[in-house]
Structures are given as structure tokens and as C-alpha cells.
């Protein structure tokens, strides 16, 4: 069903103000260059000023205080990107209607499912599983025994949640996420390795999202925990007994080794990593490909491998391209010093 709202209603939603006709009805959000009548577009980068002049959109989201030549009704707000997200959610996202257990799904007799869940064909739900109201499990989802899943969760195709794990409310697991696979634990036995049983669980707190093909390993003992509001990108590995703080962002191809504790509101850039048994404070940003190898206090940006304060890394990286020249100069200086020492000895 098509949704629409007036610009006045959208301004109330995002805490913004309208300049121009507030009764224009908006049906969707679209980029500057493809927007048409009835669309709301957004302008946040001055380099797109020319496109703003030619857009066919009915209205534009802009940052408060922005001076632009627009000729369109504007929705001014403090955070245009957040406003865009909220309006897009209102106009384009429809809450799923519970369809129950569809033919082709397998549900153990001891499982407890809320009446308005949707379990698509090809799902397997194990013994004593509990699934909360409004949750949707798409085809091919496998839920092992004794798992608890909260309300309004979305588990996309191919997700696997292993035995005993706990998932909070409004959690989104993108396709092929694995929650609770065995942690990588092996005890050396001569030249071979003896598997250490991984008997802990994974807990995903409320409003967590995990990207496609990411893996959160179960604890050897106790809990691997991803705290409220954390967002994890595709292809991320979280090791056993890791504790990730609230509202943290972990970007694609990052890896966190076992038993590391990460504070709240941290950011790990793409291909970054942390070794095991570390403590990383609140509000730490690790740059792309950064490697954290020691305990890291909060409220700082680090980069490089091994990670160092970002400003130091920038200075060091500026030197890398000059290293061959510096090596030649050092070799020449060494040669001259050797010659001087030889002359001194001859005297």
C-alpha cells in the first residue's frame, strides 16, 4: 500500500521546520538526479549544487542554516541524514504481518511461538525454542534447541543460531549469519591439537544488527556478548568470549580475537582487528586496516598496525614513500663517515 505524508507532517516527525508550502504531499524519497514530482530529495554536499537547481523533486531536505538557491520548498533540520532515514522508514518500510508457521517449515513440538510470528518454508525450529511476537524467520533459517528470540526480530535466509543462544528484541540478522558456532579453541597435544569444548553461549542484546556472512562465536565458558544497539557489517568475525559495548560499529572484514572487551560507542574500520584478551575503552575509533595489539584507553582515534594515535600514524605514513631515498642518503653518509674515520686513523 502506497504511503504519503505532507511536508508539515514530515517536519513534525524529524523535528524540522518547513520553508515554503508545507501542505505538499510526499510519496517517496529519491536522489536529486532522479527525483520527480511527489518526491522528497536531500542536499548535504555543496558539490551537488547544480543538481539541486535542476531537480524535479517537490521538496528538499537541507541542514538548518544552509544558504542555497533552491526554488523548492525545504525541510530544514539539524541532522539531514537522520531525517532522511526516519522519513524513508515511514514511507518505504512496512511492518510484516504475521503469517504463522507456513507449510514446509519444521517446528519441534516443545517450541513456543507467539501467535503473530512468520516462519517461512524450509525453516527448522528445535526443541524448547521461544520466539517473540512479530518476529520473522525467512526460508532456510535453522534454530537449534533452547534458543530464545525476542520480539520483532528479522532473521533472513540461511541464518543459523546454535543451541542455547539468546537474541533480544528488534534484532536483524542478514542472510547467512552464524550465531554461536564453536569458538576456535584447541589445546596443543604434542604436534596435534585437542578440541576444547565450547559450552558457553552468545547473547545479542536489543537493536543489534549483524551483516551477511558474519560469525559470532559462542563462548568457551560463559557468554560472548554483543550489547544493545551495536551494528556489525558483512564478513566480520567475533571470537569467543568477546564483549562488545553498546552502540559500537564494526565494519566489513574486521576481526576481534577471543576474550577482548570493547567499550561503548567504538568504531572499527574495514579490515581492522584486535588481538585477544585486550581491553579497549569507550569511544575508540580504529582506522581501516588498523591492528590493536595492546590495551587501549578510551576517547581516541588510532590507526596503523600496530595501532598508534592517528596523528602519529599520519606523520609516519608520510615518511613511507621517502624511505628508499632516505636509505640511499644514509648509505652515502655511512660511506663518508667511514672515509673520515680512515683519514683520522692515518694521522
29 and 88 Cβ atoms separated by less than 8 Å: yes
- Angle CA 259–261–264, to nearest 5: 155
Nearest to 176 by CA among 154, 160, 153: 160
CA-nearest of 213, 226, 229, 232 to 159 is: 213
Catalytic annotation on 240? yes
Return d(Cα 122, Cα 141) in angstroms, integer: 7
Residues 6+ apart with CB under 8 A from 303: 286, 287, 290, 310, 313, 314
Q: Which residues contact 318 (CB under 8 A, 6 or more apart)?
A: none
d(CA 79, CA 173): 27
And the C-alpha cell for 59? 521538496
Q: How far apart are CA 205 and CA 167, in angstroms?
A: 6
Q: DSSP code of 58?
A: S
Cβ(263)–Cβ(246) below 8 Å: no
Q: Which of 240, 265, 310, 335 is catalytic?
A: 240
Q: What's the CA gap between 294 and 277, in Å, rounded? A: 9
Q: How far apart are CA 17 and CA 37, in angstroms?
A: 21
Q: Three-state secondary structure along 145-183?
A: CCCEECCCCEECCCCEECCCCEECCCCEECCCCEEEECC
Indicate the SS3 state at residue 327: helix
**What CA dihedral angle connects 251, 87, 154 and 263, to 10 degrees?**
40
- As annotated, the active-site residues are 240
Amino acid at each position: 500500500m502506497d504511503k504519503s505524508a505532507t511536508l508539515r507532517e514530515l517536519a513534525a516527525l524529524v523535528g524540522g521546520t518547513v520553508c515554503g508550502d508545507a501542505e505538499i504531499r510526499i510519496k517517496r524519497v529519491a536522489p536529486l538526479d532522479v527525483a520527480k514530482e511527489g518526491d522528497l530529495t536531500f542536499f548535504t554536499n555543496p558539490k551537488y549544487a547544480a543538481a539541486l537547481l535542476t531537480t524535479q523533486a517537490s521538496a528538499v531536505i537541507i541542514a538548518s542554516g544552509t544558504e542555497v538557491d533552491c526554488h523548492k520548498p525545504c525541510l530544514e533540520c539539524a541532522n539531514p541524514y537522520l531525517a532522511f532515514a526516519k522519513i524513508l522508514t515511514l514511507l518505504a518500510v512496512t511492518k510484516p504481518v504475521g503469517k504463522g508457521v507456513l507449510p514446509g517449515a519444521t517446528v519441534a513440538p516443545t517450541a513456543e511461538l507467539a501467535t503473530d510470528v512468520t516462519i517461512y518454508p524450509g525453516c527448522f525450529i528445535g526443541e524448547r525454542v521461544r520466539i517473540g511476537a512479530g518476529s520473522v524467520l525467512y526460508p532456510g533459517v535453522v534454530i537449534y534447541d533452547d534458543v530464545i528470540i525476542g520480539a520483532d526480530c528479522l532473521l533472513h535466509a540461511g541464518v543459523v543460531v546454535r543451541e542455547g543462544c539468546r537474541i533480544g528484541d528488534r534484532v536483524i540478522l542478514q542472510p547467512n549469519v552464524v550465531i554461536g558456532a564453536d569458538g576456535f579453541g584447541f589445546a596443543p597435544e604434542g604436534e596435534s591439537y585437542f578440541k576444547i569444548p565450547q559450552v558457553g553461549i552468545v547473547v545479542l542484546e536489543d537493536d543489534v544488527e549483524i551483516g551477511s556472512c558474519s560469525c559470532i562465536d559462542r563462548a568457551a565458558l560463559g557468554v560472548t556478548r554483543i550489547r544493545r544497539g551495536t551494528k556489525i557489517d558483512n564478513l566480520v568475525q567475533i571470537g569467543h568470549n568477546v564483549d562488545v559495548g553498546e552502540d559500537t560499529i564494526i565494519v566489513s572484514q574486521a576481526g576481534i580475537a577471543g576474550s577482548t572487551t570493547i567499550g561503548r560507542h567504538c568504531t572499527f574500520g574495514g579490515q581492522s582487528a584486535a588481538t585477544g584478551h585486550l581491553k579497549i575503552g569507550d569511544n575508540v575509533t580504529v582506522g581501516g586496516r588498523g591492528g590493536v595489539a595492546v590495551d587501549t584507553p578510551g576517547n581516541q582515534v588510532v590507526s596503523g598496525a600496530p595501532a598508534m594515535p592517528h596523528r602519529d600514524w599520519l606523520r609516519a605514513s608520510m615518511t613511507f614513500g621517502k624511505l628508499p631515498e632516505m636509505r640511499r642518503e644514509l648509505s652515502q653518509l655511512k660511506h663518508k663517515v667511514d672515509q673520515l674515520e680512515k683519514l683520522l686513523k692515518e694521522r
